[in-house]
Amino acid sequence: MKGRSWFSSICVLLVSIMIALAAPDALSGAGAGTVSVKRTQYGKMPDGTVIDQYTLTNLKGMTAKVITYGAILTELRVPDRKGRPGDVVLGFNRLAQYLSDHPYFGSTIGRVANRIARGKFTLDGKEYTLAINNGPNHLHGGLKGFNRVVWKAESIVNDDGASVRFTYLSPDGEEGYPGNLLVEVVYTLSAQNELKIQYTATTDKATPVNLTNHSYFNLAGNGDILGHVLMLAADHYTPVDDTLIPTGEIKAVKDTPMDFTTPTPIGARIDQLTGDPGGYDHNYVLNSGGKSLALAARVLEPKSGRVMEMYTTEPGVQFYTGNFLDGTLRGKRGIVYKKHYGFCLEADHFPDAVHHPNFPSIILRPGQTYHQLTIYKFSAE
């Protein structure tokens, strides 16, 4: 009897330990020096809804912070060549600042990233009307896109790293789009200093879907980004009109200021661009064609030695150089965000694809699943 009692006690103890290790509270409370996800309260919405912040940590000195409002990446700390961590994304310290008008810092964008001309499209013979919120056009999902909704979240720690999974059900008719769209976005901080963003979506009615993340990067942490050295794996881009709507042409970058097929400082030819943007705000057609996960871009910041490589399954990347930052916003660490203080590499399908049959389609239908994987991998040299 004593032998069986001792054996039973050991079994109970082992089961208890296994349950404790698997419990979400134990995972989210993991301490320093471990792969962990920690949940804290970030603030409250005007209606009292609590907004949580999830801090992802790996073993190599990287941390990422994301919040349930807008599934926004608020902070990304990356070591430089001397091992010193620094925050490489623009953003704010307080929820109130994200609730005010801002240029989509760190936001998850949907249903449709980028612009739709005149805020109208026709699908299966029916015309849909969307909000006009950028000149004469519809931009980034409308007045209340995915960047302005509260997402459900859960933390995950597994062999791939520390993750947080966000989910949101966009109801039929939201911002003028058809169909109930169930969206999942998973941020993962891997042991290889990768920030992985994986998207899936399903619908019960045909609808356009084009998701992306709108983080503004500055690998130096402050100052303009014109000295960052950029390579884009794209031999072509889509020219735009004066409202930044594609003309439908797919044009070669060779012998133009758009050419980043070899590593080139972002500011090397920026003054050759004409028009209102005052910098780059263009969709690049990736050589991979979106057929598989492939290198899309590589950026080096010479002073810190930080390197960011971007891999994606998408056919395009919108390269934007913070042209409309004008010094009116004060962000983290008291930094005033001036023109060209951040750059965006937004993996997505081409702008205004609903009006261009020669562009890859963004229409999702019932029974199909939207998939996207984009990885930002960091190192130093």
Active site residues: 214, 346
Sign, CA dihedral 212-216-217-221, equals negative
Give how far the C-alpha of residue 295 lies from the chain's centroid of Cα atoms, to the nearest Å. Answer: 16
- Kind and range of the H or E run holding 12: helix 2-22
- Strand segments (E) across 227-380: 229-232, 236-238, 251-252, 264-265, 281-285, 294-300, 306-312, 316-320, 329-330, 336-337, 344-348, 363-364, 370-380
Q: How many CB atoms lie within 10 A of CB 8?
A: 10
Instruction: Please state, in angstroms and rounded to a whole number, the distance separating the CA atoms of residues 129 and 123.
Output: 11
Can you tell me whether residue 254 is helix, strand or coil?
coil
Say which residues have a Cβ less than 8 Å from residue 123's Cβ, sequence separation at least 6.
178, 206, 207, 208, 354, 363
